[in-house]
Amino acid sequence: MTRLIKSSSSSFVYFFHVSMTYEKELAAAKKAVSLAVRLSQEVQKSLLQSNVRSKSDKSPVTAADYGSQAVISHVLERELHPEPLYLVAEENAEDLKKDGAEEFLESITKLVNNALASDDSYANSSLSVENVRKAIDHGRSQGGSSGRHWILDPVDGTRGFVKGEEYAVALALLVEGKVVLGVMACPKLENHKSASSGKVGCLFFATEGEGAYVQSLEGDSHPPEKVHVSNIENPEEATFVESSHKPIPIHSSIAKKLGIKAPPLRIHSQVKYAALARGDAEIYLRFTLKGYRENIWNHAAGAIITTEAGGVVCDADGNPLDFSKGKHLEHKTGIVVSTEKLMPRLLQAIRESIEEEIFSL
């Protein structure tokens, strides 16, 4: 069953669908992500390099990563009570239990409470240091093919975040092994509706079978707008995006075979999915080093938003991504995101490039 939600702006009236099956979950997810973004924005404004820590895998982590996860965990648990919360998330509180971490945890707790207090319904729900630590540690679910699991990347693209660049707060819902809902905030992405005012910040959301939408993070007068992937049919005219790390040789080979002459857009995080979902780009390629395992929180929200916008998300063989195998994706090679019109020629170019790489060894 679907309910039509009406929003008005000036003399125009807009309608968008909300699946009654996940209406409550979508509302909770949007509230949780929006509050977490307020926290992350506050941290990014005053972030010093000395505030950036390293995890055991040498990747960077900040108070925003932990604080965002605590906020989202707390809001989901409260908004969806009495349903139990199972959360698959990037962070855990192990490092916050070590000697010398007390001051850092106290600063995170203050950030969490300030973010929650910005919403009237949470004004009187101050959390203790221990509450915050437990909220962070709620993200230890392993996911899988049964039950309901929320999938969270509290600050996707931390390397960009610490430089003041793009990042995303990405949350998705996995039901019986299938992603059915996604909400993603892109605080540094220009809002097309508010471009003339210089405003940035977009909130994308999608529910299975109901399309993908975007609205301003600031909650201005513009209602949610349905987004759709690009209609470009000629691959030579396509724009492709990739991660903001070192250039990947096979990406250049694929682009050359498609006749793409423009250099790639290098963007941090799942903002790449958002760019495709609203037609700013047509191809997203992600080929990583052999042996690297993709985490589901790096793709779940972006994948459903792009798919609901009319895009296709698959591996290099054209198989849909499988989020039902636990915390990591089980796919053969590469992640490929594009439009239905461009995907056949893109997969052909990928196959040819992979074969050439093999023969050159």
Q: What positions carry a catalytic annotation?
A: 65, 158
Q: Which two three-digit tokens encode residue 128?
A: 């203790």
Q: Which two three-digit tokens encode residue 186?
A: 């892109």
Q: How far apart are CA 38 and CA 269, in angstroms?
A: 18
Helix/strand/coil percent split, the chain, to 5: 40, 25, 35
Q: How far apart are CA 286 and CA 335, in angstroms?
A: 5
Which of 315, 312, 303 is CA-nearest to residue 354?
315
Q: How far apart are CA 103 and CA 120, in angstroms?
A: 28
Where do the H-state alpha helices sit in the chain?
23-46, 63-79, 102-117, 129-137, 158-161, 249-258, 271-277, 300-308, 343-360
Q: Read off the DSSP letter of residue 194.
A: G
Q: Please list, residue by residue across 238-268, b when 16 or more beta carbons sit within 10 angstroms of its beta carbon and e when fewer do.
A: bbbbbbbeeebebbbbbbebbebeeebeebb
Which of 182, 188, 207 is CA-nearest to residue 32?
182
- Pairing between β-strand 240-242 and β-strand 265-266 as defined by DSSP bridges: parallel
